[in-house]
Amino acid sequence: MFKQLRRVLELLYITDHSNIVKFYGISKAPGGYFTLVLQLATGGDLRKYLQNKRINGLYKISWTELIGIAKDITLGLMHLHDKNIIHRDLHAKNILMNNDGRALITNFGISKQIKDTTTSSSNMGGVAAYIEPQYFSTIKSQIKNLTFLAWEFCFGNSQAEFDHLMIYLIHKLYY
């Protein structure tokens, strides 16, 4: 537990960026548990934020705002990549919305800093629909997760829901 906590703290320490949740410190709670003190994001996670913008199945959100969210996530991801950090669990519940509408990447629990940007990893975790193809965890493969996020906030469906739809359509077309 301490090894993982130390790794997360080291990553948070070097990821100072306006689109990555800010790390302020650590506190020891009663019972001996450690608590990270992070930036407050009153808008909740991206999935809930977008669900609150839906009325009768349609978004009541401008394309300008959607593009702004995509830009925020992309800039945060670029900063991580500049530091050779792969998030490995990038999805809508790991994007928080600040009170000013800015998207913040969070949850670095399975993130990893790599020396070689082509290195793969067999230690996988996270949400299955967003894990990289062939279990690769490279910086380049994180772009797939970004496209799934864009799909989700443009069309309101997560990658898992999209996969179910594709399986249903293939079944209807070929069986």
| Count of structural domains within the chain | 1
5 has pLDDT over 60? yes
- Residue 112 banded pLDDT, cuts 50, 70, 90: confident
- Residue 159 banded pLDDT, cuts 50, 70, 90: low
Tokens representing 51? Answer: 């669900």
CATH number of the structural domain spanning residue 48: 1.10.510.10
Per-residue model confidence as pLDDT tens digits over 89-104: 888 899 999 989 999 9
What b-and-e string marks burial along 90-119, b requiring 16 or more CB atoms within 10 Å of the CB?
A: bbbebbbbbeeebbbbbbbbbbbeeeeeee
| Domain of 162, in residue numbers | 2-174
Phi, psi dihedral angles at 84 (to 5 degrees): 60, 40
135 has pLDDT over 50? no
> Of 16, 45, 82, 89, which one is the catalytic site residue?
89
Query: Whole-model pTM above 0.85?
Result: no
89 part of the active site: yes
Q: What was the pLDDT predicted at 85?
A: 86
CA distances from 30 to 1, 23, 37 (A): 17, 21, 15
